[in-house]
Structure 1
Amino acid sequence: MGDDALAPWSLVDLFSRWELSTPVLVGTTLATGLYLFGVWRLMRRGDRWPVNRTICWLVGVIAFFIATSSEIGVYDDTLLSVHMVQHMILSMLVPVFLALGAPVTLALRTLPRRPRGWLMALIHSRLAKVLTFAPLVFALYVLSPWALYYSGWYRASLEHPLVHEMMHVHLVVVGSLFFWPLLGLDPIPGRLTYPLRVLMTVLTLPFHAFLGVTLMNQTTLLGGDWYPELHDSMAWLPDPSADQHLAGGILWGSGDAIGLIFFIVLFSQWVRASIREAAQVDRRLDLQEARARAAGEDSDRFRGATTE
């Protein structure tokens, strides 16, 4: 934390230095291996699994690894602006891509009978219903950044490695609780109608913007004297106030950009679902019409036979 030997930050050198953590390595390896094993089991028995879902899951896992282990992770306690990039990756990009991977559906299709029953019981449990209750997850998602940056939690994350790692987990978990029901690919409780999903997505945008503008305009530094002391020991670091202004801009701009992309994904899902529903209605009406026509023809034949 705050290593004096750190060279100046450069986006060009993003993958030149890594800070590997055993829990992160084990977690990402397990997440990748178990998912690919599930896909392999489906393919082995002749079932198909959408390639785009596998790609999305791998992108989510890799994004988590990069955000916590590349130079973003190395400098996340040295530059607030770099931390904010990490924050947006962990709280928005990673949860969205993991949800698009539909791992719960994959598990239900590949687990043995007893573990599958345990998973189904968990999905239908009261705890799952509470954790996917739309007003609750919305409040958690929009208020947790305020709790992080305007309490002693953020300073503690700078000083204590365990708290720092738990903050990463918190961002992914809260983001997943928010985005998973909205995407609606997995059979979990809390699934909303498409108009409500779009509404919840739109409502998050002002909160990111307001927090970003607040950080840009305030004179009080996040983390107290943490960043000024680092600035005194490393001359290449930017002025802490300027870096905080940049961090606020990153939060504002990236939050709106990712929210807009997610809105487009939701809207496209809504359109495809409407098309499928309309096609089902058409097939049902065609079937009813065919049955009515057949019944009419049978009735005509019966009357003709009776007349003869």
Structure 2
Amino acid sequence: MSVEPLSWATLVTEWTLAPLPLVVTVWAVGLYALGVRALTRRGDRWPIGRSIAWGVGMLAFYLATSSGVAAYDTVLLSVHMAQHMVLSMVVPLSLALGAPVTLALRTLPKSPRGWLLAVLHSRVARVLSFPPLAFLLYVISPWALYFTGWYDASLSNAYVHEMMHVHLVTVGALFFWPIVGVDPLPGRVAHPFRVLLTVLTLPFHAFLGVTIMGQSALIGGDHYPSLHDGPMGSWLPDPRADQELAGGILWGAGDLVGIVFFVVLFVQWVRASMKEAEREDRRLDRLERQARPSE
């Protein structure tokens, strides 16, 4: 394996047409567009912000798994770590804000809609979307990835590598989807608890990042040193320095995305409170109108 020195240009020229990401992206974007079109044709409205969020999520997924990022994710641990953060945080958060389940429930025929509702109300869905369990999976998963043989296996086995990407998105979705609360999923909790779970993720990312930066053992074993000693050694950074950069990316990106998510939740909380206040005002107005004839 040999690639050109990493640059903004090579992130474009080293593009790969990986089959799985391409098929997933085309089908996900196509089906979502068909759903929005079906709503529009019958005169219903679908928020443009949700469509944009879905598009951003799928674009981020495809770029992270097929652009030059994918070409360098086994060459530089720092590039892999940037990919990790996109797949585990940016993609799930964006897709959750796209509300695809709500769109499906509003556009699917009766039988498929019934199947989807059965899945949403199943015991498996309730267990997987249970917020404390989803939180534990989300914070423990990176430790299992980098401190077991899992990551080493992903560097030498293409299938394990692809499944790692799927795992990152899936675990991120299990955590973010109920907390975002746009879709009618089991596991949704009150806004204060959503904010609490978000805040709790920040120190876990920071601690893992600092641990990776400070540990003496190299993640990936001899993989990165062997690349450094090979033909690409003229431009590859020292594996130790690159691992320190990777830990810094995990720390900084985790805090940055976490803060953005916190802002999203806060805005949702304020809007929900305003809607609740409006409903209460309408209820009190109805009671007042009902009481007037008897006065």
Q: TM-score range by the shorter chain?
A: over 0.9
Partner of 1:133: 130
The answer as to 2:138 corresponding to 1:150 is: no
Q: Which residue of 2 aligns with 1:170?
A: 167
1:81 counterpart residue number: 78
- Counterpart residue identity of residue 255, structure 2: D
Question: Given that residues 4 and 10 in structure 2 are in contact (C-alpha distance below 8 angstroms), is that contact kept between their aligned partners in structure 1?
Answer: no
In the alignment, structure 1 residue 228 sits paired with structure 2 residue 225: yes
1:92-241 aligned within 5 A: 92-233=89-230, 234-235=232-233, 236-241=235-240
Tell me the residue number matched to 2:39: 42
Matched residues in 2 for 1:35 and 1:294: separation?
A: 52
Amino acid at match of 1:87: H
Alpha-carbon deviation of 1:12? 4.5
Aligned-residue offset at 1:295: 2.8
TM-fit CA distance, 1:63: 0.3
> How many angstroms apart in 2 are the aligned matches of 1:187 and 1:264?
21
Paired residues for 1:239-278 under 5 Å: 239-278=238-277
TM-superposition CA deviations, 1:170-203 (whole Å, max 9, x none): 0000000000000000000000100000000000
Indicate whether 1:62 and 2:59 are aligned.
Answer: yes
Structure 1 residue 15 displacement after superposition: 1.9
Are 2:288 and 1:285 equivalent residues in the alignment?
no
Cα distance in structure 2, aligned partners of 1:204 and 1:12: 34
Letter in 2 for 1:34: L
| Runs of 5+ consecutive residues of structure 1 not aligned to the other structure | 297-308
Which whole-Å CA distance do the structure 1 matches of 2:27 and 2:108 have between them? 16
- Tell me how far apart the structure 1 counterparts of residues 113 and 162 of structure 2 sit (CA, whole Å): 31
Residue 286 of structure 1, CA deviation: 1.0
C-alpha separation between the residues in 1 aligned to 2:71 and 2:37?
Answer: 35
Q: Distance in 2 between matches of 1:118 and 1:129?
A: 16
2: CA distance between counterparts of 1:249 and 1:199? 24
- Could you tell me which amino acid in structure 2 is paired with residue 238 of structure 1? P
2: distance between equivalents of 1:217 and 1:180? 33
Whole-angstrom distance in 1 between the partners of 2:20 and 2:89: 21
Deviation at 1:134, TM superposition (A): 1.0
Q: Which amino acid in the other structure matches residue 237 of structure 1?
A: L
Structure 1 letter corresponding to 2:120:
I
| Structure 2 alignment gaps of length 5 or more | none
SS of the equivalent of 1:11 reads coil
Q: Superposition pairs for residues 6-45 of structure 1, below 5 Å?
A: 6-45=3-42
| Cα offset, 1:144, TM superposition | 0.2
CA distance in 2, matches of 1:155, 1:131: 27
Q: Which moved more, 1:13-22 or 1:225-234?
A: 13-22
Q: Structure 1-normalised TM-score?
A: 0.94
CA positional deviation for 1:17: 2.1
**Counterparts of 1:153 and 1:49, CA distance in 2:** 41
Distance 1:276 1:294 in 2: 29
After TM superposition, the runs of 4+ consecutive aligned structure 1 residues lying more than 3 A away are none
